Amino acid sequence: MERFEACTAHANAAGWEGRRWGRGRGAIAATSAALLLCLVVLVSIGGRKTSVLQEEGTDSKMEAAEKLAKWSKEVNDLEAEVKKFEVEANEKAVDELVHLAKVKDLLNQLKDQVPLEAPPKPWSYEGATGPDHWAELSSDYQLCGTGQQQSPINIELDLQQASLPSLGWVLPKDNAAVTTKTGDSALAGREFYNGHTFEVESLGSPTLLLGGVTYTLEQFHFHTPSEHKVAGRHYDMEMHFVHSAMVDGQKKLAVIAAFFEVGDNSPAFVKQLFETALPSVSSNPTALAPNLDFRGIAQEVLVGTVPTKLESANEFVPNFKNYFQYTGSLTTPPCTEGVTWVVLKNPVDITAADLSAIQNLEGKNSRPTQPLNGRVVLDVGGSTP
């Protein structure tokens, strides 16, 4: 702007000179020439300025490139940091998963410790919640309806003979598995009514060797009438000794079943349990079974009551080597299969009064017999009950 005014002044001065010279045309030409000169100068100055601006632009571009490089580096650094966080987060997630797995293991262990038939569920032995409807009551009870290896069964007598080892419980040395007096031990012989059966657990963990597996006794309980039938016949009562073992991380079950029938006498343990324990039994598994001696139970059950009319003493074969064996299920929901059943052949006598005592407490609590579906029942000992 300043230069343009200076140019105009020059042009005017040239014009004035021209006018002073008195040659109008010449004055216009001089003014034009001055303006043209100025324009050239201006263009030249402008050009120079443009070239400076271009140089300045080059600098900016370089600066921008530098900035771009710097930013790219920052972005890369940030990306690397994000990746680092991701790795850390993954490691944390893995830690969390490991932790969760441990918690799950712990829960499963706790679940395994829950008594097998203890939790009262909305099932029963009659009507809409009876055995025919167990499978409909809960998805957990599916096997009660669809299982192909269910218990109990009717055992016919034309069976495959088998030679298997004698049965026997091993009692831990340091724990006599005995409650000598009520209140002596909080861990031996806890009794309770679980809503379906009278059950005694915490017996000092006797063990039983069966098929190469060492099982631990968890509890025993009673059913009236018997659940298993032999040649189509029920007994008056059946006692179940429920055992478990962990094999390759899987829980395996084995149940020893003993039959009872009304006779002149009851074994000592039945008298102790039913006369003294039953009247006070509750759903709370804290009461101790008074004077309970598992040795006495084992002896009575593993032999059976010797019949009074024996044609020959040699005909009687004690239960520990005289039993049926087959693969079945729990006889109560969830009807879990893969249970090894040992059904002792010789029944044990029980008085009518003792039988009534347990019937009054439990009512009828036996599941009907289930189809054999081609299963093999082994006859060990060969003696017909």
Catalytic residues: 196
Reduced to 3 states, what is the DSSP secondary structure of residue 214?
A: strand
Of all residues in the shown chain, the one whose CB is closest to Zn ion is 240
User: What is the DSSP code (8-state) at residue 178?
Assistant: B
Nearer to Zn ion, 34 or 253 (CB): 253
243: contact with Zn ion by CB under 5 A: no
Nearer to Zn ion, 15 or 147 (CB): 147
Backbone angles phi, psi at 120, to 5 degrees: -65, 125
Q: How far is the CB of 223 from Zn ion (least distance, A)?
A: 5
Whether the ω angle into residue 152 lies within 30 degrees of 0, i.e. cis, is yes
Binding segment for Zn ion among 11-19, 104-112, 232-240, 263-271 (CB under 5 A)?
232-240
240: contact with Zn ion by CB under 5 A: yes
Residue 84 in tokens: 């680092």
234: contact with Zn ion by CB under 5 A: no
CA 242 – CA 257 distance, rounded (Å): 9
Reduced to 3 states, what is the DSSP secondary structure of residue 265?
A: coil
From the list 332, 327, 335, 318, the residue with the least C-alpha distance to 380 is 318
Q: How far is the CB of 245 from Zn ion (least distance, A)?
A: 18
Backbone angles phi, psi at 94, to 5 degrees: -60, -45
Q: How far is the CB of 216 from Zn ion (least distance, A)?
A: 17
Q: How far is the CB of 173 from Zn ion (least distance, A)?
A: 29
Binding segment for Zn ion among 78-86, 239-247, 264-272, 274-282 (CB under 5 A)?
239-247
Binding segment for Zn ion among 22-30, 128-136, 235-243, 334-342 (CB under 5 A)?
235-243
Number of residues that bind Zn ion (CB under 5 A): 1
Reduced to 3 states, what is the DSSP secondary structure of residue 258?
A: strand
CA 343 – CA 231 distance, rounded (Å): 13
Nearer to Zn ion, 149 or 291 (CB): 149
Residue 325 in tokens: 């064996």
Count of CB atoms situated within 10 Å of the CB of 20: 9
Binding segment for Zn ion among 75-83, 236-244, 294-302, 306-314 (CB under 5 A)?
236-244
Q: How far is the CB of 88 from Zn ion (least distance, A)?
A: 54
Please check whether residue 244 is in contact with residue 251, taking contact to mean a CB–CB distance below 8 angstroms.
Answer: yes
From the list 272, 267, 242, 241, the residue with the least C-alpha distance to 179 is 272
Q: Tokens 């039994």 belong to which residue?
A: 281
String marking each residue 179-208 x if it binds Zn ion according to CB under 5 A: ------------------------------
Q: How far is the CB of 322 from Zn ion (least distance, A)?
A: 21
CA 285 – CA 74 distance, rounded (Å): 68
Nearer to Zn ion, 291 or 365 (CB): 365
Please check whether residue 348 is in contact with residue 305, taking contact to mean a CB–CB distance below 8 angstroms.
Answer: yes
Nearer to Zn ion, 30 or 116 (CB): 116
Nearer to Zn ion, 11 or 253 (CB): 253
Binding segment for Zn ion among 29-37, 170-178, 237-245, 307-315 (CB under 5 A)?
237-245
- Give me the residues that bind Zn ion (CB under 5 A), please: 240
